[in-house]
A and B are shown apart, each in its own frame.
Chain A
Amino acid sequence: MKKEYLQLDRIEGALIELSNTHNVGYGEVVEIENNNGNKKLGRIIKIEEDSVIVQVFGSTTGISTKNTKVGFKGKPFEISLSKDILGRTFNGIGKPIDGMGEIYSKESYNVNGRPINPVAREYPRNYIQTGISSIDGLMTLIRGQKLPIFSGNGLPHNELAAQIVRQAKIKAKDGRDTRFGIVFAAMGVKHDEAHFFRETFRKSHVLDRVVMYINYADDPIMERIIAPRAALTAAEYLAFEQNMHILVIMTDITSYGEALREISSLREEVPSRRGYPGYLYSDLASLYERAGMLKDKSGSITLIPILTMPNDDITHPIPDLTGYITEGQIVLSRELYQKNIYPPVNVLPSLSRLMKDGIGEGFTREDHPDVSNQLFSSYSKVQEVRSLAQIIGEDDLSDKDKRYLEFGRKFEEVFVNQDFNDDRDIEDTLNIGWELLSILPIEELDRLDSKLIEKHIKNR
């Protein structure tokens, strides 16, 4: 029973309105064909009395109110998935763009997914070693975690993500887990950025384990809303039906948020902060919360969203609301980058909420919690000393304060700074930490247990 309509009432931006339809369902997929035979997909976003508002994926250019065929599919937006998606590239709405043909599968999945029951979740505890000291030591990534990278335009967030992809490993007792895969969702990325990631995957020999959903910066913004959902649906399929460990990289959430704002303003909705819709939080959560682990499944979804903070402002609604949903954040700093430090991780505002349960004895090393705590607190003291030094000059500082400055400098140059190809073991990371802490007077190490100080500093 497929009905088609030929008459539209209104076309505005990416929204079309038509009336006198049969009883269509909210969220139903719509196929729109103009008189040249060009087909586009859309989705019902509002039903009011006799009229239906459809959000079109793609441009509405060339669509006329007359002689445009509109057909209703009678089901929500779905993509077909099978194991064959590994190694493939799709556009934002799940159509293959690598010229390797359609995915045929009996199973199709609603891209919106369904909320995971909190009772069914498994609390994430296994840490992932990224080989990057600042992350492993101070904001450890845990399998099943959602940990975003807060960056700015021009900062090396893509390189950092690429390095994580290349080096990430799980140091489980039974050796390296091989059933892992990567889902890459790009929203509004530049062509060269997408190329960079594809090259990275190729060089790390994981291309056959990667699924890519790419919405380029010049692609329709409506598809930008679907792209991350299609990617996460694929990730859920691979993790919870194929029992794989999936790392999802999403970039750039800021473009996604802006697409959402654009649609919201088209729909004439009441805006909240900075013109973003009031449901931005719920909407972002419907993406981020799809990461995690389930008790009765052995797979997992670890999510690393990347976002560029407009004007480097961490209080902008997108980083702000993201930080409230994700389990921590890795913040990059322009100042460190200008000091030629890579990766320019600003450790003070960075945080991993799940690390407390995934580090220490039995996971990384017994001294890890205390060392990371002490490094944080000492480095934050460095900031105070630096501002003092700016006023009275370094020469007039007390001996203790001079040692703090020395510690701060070394911390940035030796601990945070590391080569793009440098893969450091957690042991190395912690040992560097101790080396740096030994610069400071022992009575300043108030977060460390005296037994640990004994073992790692005095007995050396």
Chain B
Amino acid sequence: MTDILGKVDMINGPVIRGVEMTGFKMREMVLVGEKKLIGEVISIDGETGIIQVYEETEGLKKGESIVSTGKPLSLKLGPGILGNMFDGIERPLKKINNDFGSFIPEGIGLISLDEEKLWEVNILVNVGDFINEGQVFGTVEETSLITHKLIVPFGVRGKVVNIKESGKYSIEEELVVVEDERGYSHSLKMYQEWPVRMPRPVKERLPIDRLLITGQRVLDIFFPIAKGGTAAIPGGFGTGKTMTQHQLAKWSDADIIVYIGCGERGNEMTEVLEDFPKLIDPKTNKPIMERIVLIANTSNMPVAAREASIYTGITIAEYFRDMGYHVAIMADSTSRWAEALREISGRLEEMPAEEGYPAYLPTRLAEFYERAGYVKNLNHEEGSVTIIGAVSPAGGDFSEPVTENTKRFVNVFLALDRELAYSRHYPAINWLTSYSGYVELLKDFYSRELDEDVKELRGKMLKLLYEENRLKDLVSLVGEDVLPDEQRFILEIARVIKIGFLQQNAFHKEDTFVPLKKQIEMLKTIDHLYERGLNSIEKGIPISQIKDNKLFEDIIKMKYNIPNNNLDGIVELNEQIDNFYNDLDAEYSR
């Protein structure tokens, strides 16, 4: 570490200015004051530099020193990340709790991965091998679910000249020594460092054509999210953003989940810590906690670290992607991140654009969402990062800058609706204003997995819902009775779709996660009901006969009554529909 020293000259909340700072680098990490608060240089002007500080600055004095560390804000990436909870700059909150008690003090320094824990390492290379950047040189069984692959850091290639035997080591141990073409030697440890603001390189980006299966009907069938894709979930408070994010974190079929609690409630993170370890992944029968990384900067933690937390999360996600995993990242909420940008920008007295947000807000959002993708990594394996960002629009108004700008950079827009939430229709995703840009791209995926034309059926159902919305306007003016029977039947079917299909109960053990096969069978059943009923209406049978309460009720309750692993009940339901309408038709044709 070079000992370049600056001096504190101005303090304004988390923003400080230093003088005598020639020699400091832009975006460099620095230690500020006697308490060695962690900060980052965000602008340099001649002798003076502006620093954002990731810890509380109370008590800091003018004239205290600023020490350069010579490297940008970066993360240690290695075993020990999974199942853990970190703050916005990758400091382990469990360790902080053990060492410092229930409240987080300032000046705890830069700690990250556990340096003492011994990991069982399996070395995969031999002396004399030629290894390349991105290649896997060893493995660690980090959890029973995930094998942590040790990859050669970027920029390192050459001949292996020395190795340790497979065995138990701490992350600081030199495992492999590589000599490059120019004769320099590099020692590889279990971890590598990477600056958070820089995307990690890949071989190439691949087209997006696989569904991220979430087990949530309204998503998987109506507004699908693709692996490597981007989605935004905007919604006012109380509309269920966090609930939806939690459901996705629990059930989506990604290998690794990175959950960023960015400026949200402390109790929500606690809930994750308490609930998730009890949940078992339906695919692997292992606790889902083993595949989750939590980043927490709750709303009362320092605001500058909130800005960094998003980058910390995405960098960790990319790291696992480079091992060939499919990673999904939930950022809850990106609005708080944007507000952190605004707060710091305000303290820098920058010229504000819309609603006080800095003019570079869209650029930053684009840079973040563009780090998603389905890629071939340097090791020629496939991996992906899917970004699902919650947005908390002020006043629930979707025309505010963060929602508007986010909309430009994401492909799936899941608009949460206050009206639906008030009537406890969960997930409160409004089917009229939401959209997914992946429906067409996933067409082949659906036909491969389900042998069904999902797009066609989805289109038909959405059209019914759209019709219903139009008719409801009419009904609110003239009442339902005056509508022709065909249209009244649409209202009835729309009700079945809404209650029986779109509403999903996160607290019901069958309904919280539904396999794709059951989802499509359910929707086909509803479609069958519609077709048979419509057919009977065309024969002149009155709606009062067509709408059989018992039959409709059974169909609405199929989500609860038919187990996920045995769909025989759905076949029976279809038979019931046929029998009922066959009898009805026969009766009326007499």
A residues lining the B interface (CB < 8 Å)? 23-28, 46-49, 76, 110, 112-124, 144, 240, 269-273, 277-279, 281-282, 285-286, 288-290, 292, 294-297, 315-317, 320-321, 323-325, 327-329, 348-349, 351, 353-354, 356-357, 369, 373, 376-377, 380-381, 384, 387-388, 391-392, 396-398, 443, 446-447
Contact = CB atoms under 8 A, between A and B. Distances in A.
The 5 nearest A-B residue pairs measured at CB: A315-B395, A285-B299, A272-B356, A380-B423, A27-B58
A288 to B, nearest CB: 8
A26 B57 contact: yes
B553 interface: yes
A27 B298 contact: no
Given A272-B355, A373-B424, A388 B303 contact: no
Nearest to B395: A315
Interface residues of B, number: 77
B237 A323 contact: yes
**Which of A270, A294, A396 is the most central at the interface, judged by chain B CB atoms within 10 Å of its CB?**
A270
Contacts of A118: 85, 93, 261, 266, 269-270, 273, 296, 298
Interface in B452-494: 475-481
A278 B11 contact: no
Nearest to B59: A25
B103 A117 contact: yes
A48 B298 contact: no
Interface in B78-97: 85, 93-94, 96-97
B59 A26 contact: yes
Given A272-B356, A329-B238, A26 B392 contact: no
A428 to B, nearest CB: 23
Contacts of B261: 118
Given A23-B63, A285-B299, A273 B238 contact: no
Contacts of A323: 236-238
A460 B431 CA distance: 40
A340 B395 CA distance: 29
B382 to A, nearest CB: 34
Interface in B46-94: 56-64, 85, 93-94
A122 to B, nearest CB: 7
B318 interface: no
A349 B11 CA distance: 42
Nearest to A350: B238
17 contacts: A24-B61, A24-B62, A46-B10, A115-B266, A116-B104, A118-B261, A120-B103, A123-B267, A123-B271, A270-B346, A282-B303, A285-B299, A289-B298, A349-B238, A349-B422, A376-B424, A387-B476
Contacts of A282: 263, 299-300, 303, 339, 343
Contacts of B265: 289, 325, 327
A46 B422 contact: no
B85 A376 contact: no
A286 B103 CA distance: 13
A391 B499 CA distance: 27
Nearest to A397: B479
A377 B507 CA distance: 17
B342 A272 contact: yes
Given A46-B11, A290-B300, A324 B392 contact: yes
A391 B477 contact: yes
B58 A26 contact: yes
B270 A121 contact: yes
Contacts of B301: 115
Contact of B10 (A47, A113, A351): A47
B556 A297 contact: no
A373 B499 CA distance: 13
Contacts of B481: 398
Given A118-B269, A324-B237, A392-B478, A380 B422 contact: yes
A86 B38 CA distance: 39
Nearest to B397: A315
Contact of B104 (A114, A240, A269): A114
Contact of A123 (B12, B93, B270, B395): B270
Given A115-B298, A115-B301, A391-B477, A320 B394 contact: yes
B274 interface: yes
A392 B479 contact: yes
Given A116-B102, A273-B355, A124 B267 contact: yes
Contacts of A381: 423
A27 B14 CA distance: 12
Contacts of B10: 46-49
A456 B205 CA distance: 59
B97 A119 contact: yes
Given A25-B61, A118-B266, A296-B102, A270 B93 contact: no
A349 to B, nearest CB: 6
B475 A388 contact: yes
Given A27-B59, A119-B85, A320-B394, A278 B499 contact: no
Nearest to A389: B479
A240 B102 CA distance: 10
A26 B266 contact: no
Contacts of B395: 315-317, 320
A236 to B, nearest CB: 9
Nearest to B354: A272
Given A115-B301, A120-B101, A278 B270 contact: no
B250 interface: no
B183 interface: no
Interface in B552-577: 553, 556
B207 interface: no
A23 B342 contact: no
B352 interface: yes
B589 interface: no
A329 B238 CA distance: 9
A292 B352 CA distance: 36
Nearest to A289: B300
Given A24-B62, A115-B104, A271 B267 contact: no
Given A388-B476, A447-B424, 10 more contacts: A47-B11, A117-B104, A118-B261, A119-B85, A270-B349, A272-B355, A327-B265, A329-B238, A384-B476, A443-B549
A116 B475 contact: no
A121 B556 CA distance: 40
Nearest to A295: B102
Interface string B410-443: 0000000010001111000000000000000000
Contacts of A396: 479
B164 to A, nearest CB: 34
A116 B97 CA distance: 9
A391 B424 contact: no
B336 interface: yes
B138 interface: no
Given A115-B104, A297-B102, A315-B396, A289 B356 contact: no
Contact of B263 (A25, A273, A281, A351): A281
B155 interface: no
B274 A123 contact: yes
B267 A327 contact: yes
Nearest to A110: B58
Contact of B300 (A28, A285, A317, A373): A285
Given A76-B59, A349-B422, A351-B238, A120 B11 contact: no
B78 to A, nearest CB: 21
A296 B97 CA distance: 11
A201 B233 CA distance: 44
A371 B155 CA distance: 62
Contact of A325 (B59, B299, B423): B299
Contacts of A384: 476
Contacts of A273: 355-356, 394
